[in-house]
Every structure is written in C-alpha cells, then in structure tokens.
Structure 1
Amino acid sequence: MSELELRPEIVALPKVLLHDHLDGGVRPQTVLELAEETGYDGLPASDAAGLARWFRESSDSGSLVRYLETFAQTVAVLQTESALFRVASECAQDLAADGVVYAEVRYAPEQHLEAGLTLEQVVEAVNAGFRDGEARSGHRIRVRALLTAMRHAAKSSEIAELVVRYRDQEVGGFDIAGAEAGYPPTRHLDAFEYLRRENAHFTIHAGEAFGLPSIWEAIQWCGAERLGHGVRIVDDISASDELGLLAGFVRDRRIPLEMCPSSNIQTGAATDIASHPITRLKDLRFRVTLNTDNRLMSDTSMSKEMQLLVDEAGWTKDDLRWVTVNAMKSAFLPFDERLALIEDTIKPAYA
C-alpha cells in the first residue's frame, strides 16, 4: 500500500481512531535505533526501508497467528522507560500529522517487563510519552491509552486494576488481545466483572480469526462495550440481508465494531477492500468505525484506510463523516467531551 498517493483533502479531514496498537505502529527507523541502543541483534533487516518491507511482507501471511509473530521484533526493543516514552511520543505525533484528533492506543504492559520494569513504570512511561507527543505535534490531538491483557496469560486482573488506578491519567479502558482460537474471553471473567463493578470501560478483540461464538461470549458473558474487529458478525447475516439473533442484537444495541480493513486482509479475515464486510455493515447501519490496527505491519494510516475505501469500495465523504462520528460517539470518554469534539471539530470540517 506504500505506493498509494494520498489525496490532501483526505489527510486534512479530522479522524477518530479507536483501535491502534502501540507496538504495531513503531517507526522502522526507531526500531533500528532502539535495537542498537539496547544491543538487540535479532532484527531481520539493517535499514529502515528493508525493515518496513519485512514487517509488511511477513504480515501478509493470511494467518492471524503468523501476523502476531512479527510483534516479537518490536516488543524486543520496547523494554525500557526511555524506549516506551519515545515510541508513545512519536505515535501521538504521527497520528496528529495524519489528521487524527482523538485516538485510543492500546498496548499490553505485561509484554514490557523483560528488563526489570514494573507494570506501573510501563504505564507511566507511555502516558508521559503521549503527553509529550501531543505537545510536540503542532496539531490538535488527544491520545488515551487502553491497557491490554494477553488472552493466553494470567495477568488480566492485574491489568484491570491498573486501568482503574490510572483512569484519571488518560487511561481510558481495558482490552484483551492475542490469538482467539483456544483462548476464549471467558477465561478472564474475573477481570471483566471487576471492571464493571468499578464503572470502567472495556473492549474485547473478538470475531476476527474466530467466528460468532467469540463475539457471543465477548458480549453476552463478558459484557464488552465494543468489539475489536467483529468482522465475522457477517456470518450471522443472510444473503438477503436478514439478520440472525446475534447480528440483530449487535446492531440494535449499537455495539461499536472497531473495523480494520487492511489488517483483516493480511490475516485472512477478508479477501480485499472492495468486498470487505465493512461496507455491507455500513449499509446495514451497524455502528461501524474505521481503524488502522497496526500501522507498521499493514503499512497504513487512517488516511490510507479512508482513501482505499473511497477508491475501491465506492465510499463517499458522507460515509467517512459517518464512521468518524460513530467512532467519537463510541469513545471511552465522558459524553460532554465526545459531543464537543463532534460538534466543534468533526462536523464543521466535513460540512
């Protein structure tokens, strides 16, 4: 996708991003420099262009499991406070330059403890980096963190407690991520029940590599407010657009779908942009949002995702406005703050 020439008017549009992974959006040059600083010698390329190409090509496997393996390279160099601060700052700056006015960026604190950091040190370093990036960006942007627990591990309750402890420091909510098959969200019920008791927000990766049972568990057992991806909800919609009970529930309850078209193609959850379920779900008026997932692995940005939908799926500016407002409505942010961004920033720019 790197050859895509972005239209300036799309770059200039205000964007809202709800599903973006910090360790999946590191600049290739930064990965190289951090590897040199920390003595990590496992990188598969020695120049930024070659490294960017390796990440993209390795992610184009059609398998979520293989796609996730590429993160070993970025996580390996993100084991110090200074590294986490830097990538968080650069993340905020890169998103702002792409027109993003509000972002929720997720990461798994438990994956950054190999050099002796505590969970608290990880969270505080990333928070400080986001604040630095907001200040340096030169554009209006607000970045909040979502703390992720890994589905295969046993730290979800600890991570949930961190969400509550740091919620007044721009930590917006909780997530679980990792391979879906064999690791159902119900393994982490204690964490979800704790978060509900504490009035804390959470989303769940569901319906990407695994089908309707994953979505059903995430919503009906765990109480997910949003679905990370949720693309497989189309399996509950007939060829004549009749909705099954689960699809109808998701649409009726306005449960937001954090959809990531380019990433879905890489992991085999969709075949191409033109036929990606996001357009059908938009037309059926599900609460669709548009996201990047992993900007490094997919060689993408919010502007690229928007332009691909315009060029290959026939989307209009009104469609882009609609998903942007959907995303802002669905943000883990107080109602008055969401409304202000919609009325004062998003709607005027799309008018």
Structure 2
Amino acid sequence: MTTELILKTIPKVLLHDHLDGGLRPQTIIELADEIKYKKLPTKDPIELGEWFHRGANKGNLVEYLQGFEHTTAVMQTKESLIRVAYEMMEDMKKDGVVYVETRFAPALHLEKGLYLEDTVKAVLEGLEKGKEDFGVGYGLILCGMRNMKNSLEIAELAVNFRRQGVVGFDLAGEEGGYPPKKHIDAFQFIQRANFNITIHAGEAFGKESIWQAIQWCGAHRIGHATRLIEDIVLDNEGNVVAFGDLAQYVLDKRIPLEICLLSNVHTGAVDKIENHPFGIFYREKFRVTLNTDDRLMSDTTMTKEFMTAVKYFNLNFDDFEKITINSMKSAFIPYKERLHYIYNVIKPGYQKMREQILSFNNIKGENEKVIQ
C-alpha cells in the first residue's frame, strides 16, 4: 500500500474542472477524424497529450488557453459532447472522485449548428449516463466568457436548466482587460433567481479581480483566488502579520477558494509550486478546496493534486479529509444532498481507509509507514 494508492482510493470531491480541458487524447483524435478536423499537431495519443501539456506549461494564461482551440473544435456535435461528458465521469470514478462539478461554455460549441440548449442537454445526457454507470455524483456549471457579450443569455440558460442538473454560473476566459463587473447584468439575474455563482478571479489579475467578483458580482465561490495573498501581510519567515479587509472578509464569510495547484504554475499565477499561497491559506483556516482545473492541459488528476499537496505542503490523511469535507460543504447542490455525501460516502470512506492504514502500518513497522 503506497501513499499514492491511498490518495487514489479515498473519496474526493472536485469543484473546479473544465470539461473541454480534460479530454482523453485518443478521444480527440477519433472525434477529429469523424468531422475531418485537420489541425491536430499529431495523431499519436501519447505525443498529443505531451503536446497539450507542453503548450500549456508556458507560464501565462493566454498561451495556456490556446490548446482549447483544438478541444472545442472536436466538441461541436451532440454525440461528441455526450461522449466527452460520459468519459469524464468514467475518469472521475477511476480517480476516486465521488462528486464532481464540471463546467463548460455553451457558446463555444455552436460551430456545427447546435443551439445553446442543445449543448447543455447533450452534456447533461453524458453526465447522467456516467452517473448511472459509475456511481459518481455531478453538477454542471455553465460558463459565460469574459470576452463575449452574451453572458446574460448564458445566465438565463443556467437557470432554465437548474432542475435538470445545472448547479451554477461561472465567468471564465482571459482575466486581463475583462473585469467581471462588465457582466454585472448576468450576475444580478443569477442573484435574483436565488442561484449559484462562482467566478474565475485572482489568477492572471490581482486582488481587485477577487474583490469585484465578490462585492460587485456576488460570487459564492472564487475560482483560483491565488492573488488573494496580495491582501495578506507576511513577515520574513512567511508568517501572517495582518490581513487586509478583503482577505479578512473572505476568511470570515467562509467563501470557498477553488485552488488548482499545478495549473497555477502552468498559467504563471505562481512561479513554482512551493511558492503557492495554498499553504498559507490552509494554515490560516481559509475554506480551501483542491481541484484539477484542466486535466489534459496540466497533465493532472485529483490524486496528482493531492500528491503535490503532500510533497510541498506536508498534508496528511486528516488534512485531506478536512479539505474533502470543505469541498462538499461548498458544492452547489442542495444541503441535504451535501450531507448525504459527507456522512454516507466521505466519512465512511475515510474511516475505512484509516483502518486499513493502521493495519498496514502495524504489519510493516516504523520504516515503511504510509501517510497518516
């Protein structure tokens, strides 16, 4: 029993995952063949996966987003959307994820004649079939794009599908030059409908982006929030001296932060993992969650994100249980459903693994103990 196997087996909750950022390379190749898409750099699945990761690992968000041209290009039919959503659920099952909120931008999937409603129905069909076959719970978040002017239409679409599996509305895309308050009508519509908001903020732009997302747009969760560290004063040893008003507000109001460790390095939000503010956020009791962001582009899984947290931030078994429960508390599904996952899935799953670890460590002795 290895630490990696333990982390793969324990129940995990994923709140920040992009559907078009997590395709299997083989699926991209097959879908490209079906629609005669000729722009892929290679038809070898291993090489293609490496190409996406290499292209994303450039240290800035604009270049990171370029690979999405290819993934969205092969997601333009109902069949392709159903397949990608279904396979994502299978991949979640293999990674030990018990509940996932995935997101996509319907406006990016209309090139072959689909309507906005068609894209949402297709993705939900794939997710529902995946839930039936793999037992993974899900919620779907619809993304408006910062550089598009139809965010209100997407917000209305999200609310229209709230009874069929859509759980919230997001604003995604390049941050610089596209502040969230430019989409204020969409967010006010969501608020009036008593619905859920998460916003990408504080990844490629500073703490002002986070402030706008919360105070102008009413965000219930923040995607990334890496630059919130700009509102925290540290001493030379990295200990917190004082919180600014924004950081204090986020902490006090328990606003969940959707942390994505590996992609934050790839997009340049941080220069290297060990400098990621996640460690400070977690130590100071912010409500942090761990997420994958774009599994294909960042060559990651929830298990890999957890392993990264062990290596660089010394997290232990109890820490992961706490973070997983934090994530489930922060999900956009009804309260009773969240409680179901916490008390009937997550806590029993961790307790079962805790007993297995104890048994293993008793057999193996001090030198071969695994994560506790």
TM-score computed with the length of structure 1 as normaliser:
0.97
Residues in 2 aligned to 1:215 and 1:14: alpha-carbon distance in whole angstroms: 30
Query: 1:341: which partner in 2?
Result: 341
Residues in 2 aligned to 1:136 and 1:296: alpha-carbon distance in whole angstroms: 23
TM superposition shift of 1:324: 0.6
Task: Provide Cα deviations, 1:211-265, integer angstroms capped at 9, x if missing partner.
Answer: 0110010001111000010011011111141111110001001000000000000
Q: Which amino acid aligns with 1:269?
A: A
SS in 1 for 2:190: helix
Name stretches of at least 5 consecutive residues in structure 1 with no aligned partner.
Answer: none
Residues in 1 aligned to 2:319 and 2:277: alpha-carbon distance in whole angstroms: 15
Residues in 1 aligned to 2:280 and 2:271: alpha-carbon distance in whole angstroms: 14
Residues in 2 aligned to 1:61 and 1:6: alpha-carbon distance in whole angstroms: 30
Residues in 1 aligned to 2:206 and 2:131: alpha-carbon distance in whole angstroms: 37
1:257 aligns with 2:257: yes
Residues in 2 aligned to 1:216 and 1:198: alpha-carbon distance in whole angstroms: 22
SS in 1 for 2:319: helix
Task: Provide Cα deviations, 1:257-298, integer angstroms capped at 9, x if missing partner.
Answer: 000000000011112333321111000000100000000001
Name stretches of at least 5 consecutive residues in structure 2 with no aligned partner.
Answer: 352-372
Q: Which amino acid aligns with 1:215?
A: I
Aligned match of 2:197 in 184, 187, 202?
202
1:159 aligns with 2:154: yes
8 Å contact kept, 2:144–2:170: yes
Residues in 1 aligned to 2:112 and 2:61: alpha-carbon distance in whole angstroms: 27
Aligned match of 1:68 in 65, 69, 72?
65
Residues in 1 aligned to 2:43 and 2:342: alpha-carbon distance in whole angstroms: 43
Q: Which amino acid aligns with 1:261?
A: L
Query: 1:288: which partner in 2?
Result: 288
TM superposition shift of 1:169: 0.5
SS in 2 for 1:258: strand
Query: 2:76: which partner in 1?
Result: 79
Residues in 1 aligned to 2:128 and 2:203: alpha-carbon distance in whole angstroms: 31
Structure with higher Rg: it is 2
Aligned match of 2:99 in 94, 102, 114?
102
Q: 1:187 to 1:46 in 2, by over 3 A?
A: same
1:129 aligns with 2:126: yes
Q: Which amino acid aligns with 1:342?
A: I
SS in 2 for 1:19: strand
Query: 2:176: which partner in 1?
Result: 181
1:116 aligns with 2:113: yes
8 Å contact kept, 2:130–2:136: no
TM superposition shift of 1:143: 1.4
Task: Provide Cα deviations, 1:133-179, integer angstroms capped at 9, x if missing partner.
Answer: 12222xx3111110001000011111111111110001000001001
8 Å contact kept, 2:181–2:212: yes
1:220 aligns with 2:212: no
Residues in 2 aligned to 1:56 and 1:342: alpha-carbon distance in whole angstroms: 34
Number of residue pairs the alignment of both structures matches: 345
Residues in 2 aligned to 1:159 and 1:110: alpha-carbon distance in whole angstroms: 8
Query: 1:147: which partner in 2?
Result: 142
Query: 2:244: which partner in 1?
Result: 244
TM superposition shift of 1:77: 0.5
SS in 2 for 1:167: coil
SS in 2 for 1:286: coil
TM superposition shift of 1:189: 0.5
Residues in 1 aligned to 2:312 and 2:151: alpha-carbon distance in whole angstroms: 39
TM superposition shift of 1:339: 1.2
Residues in 2 aligned to 1:239 and 1:294: alpha-carbon distance in whole angstroms: 31
Q: 1:81 to 1:6 in 2, by over 3 A?
A: farther
SS in 1 for 2:113: coil
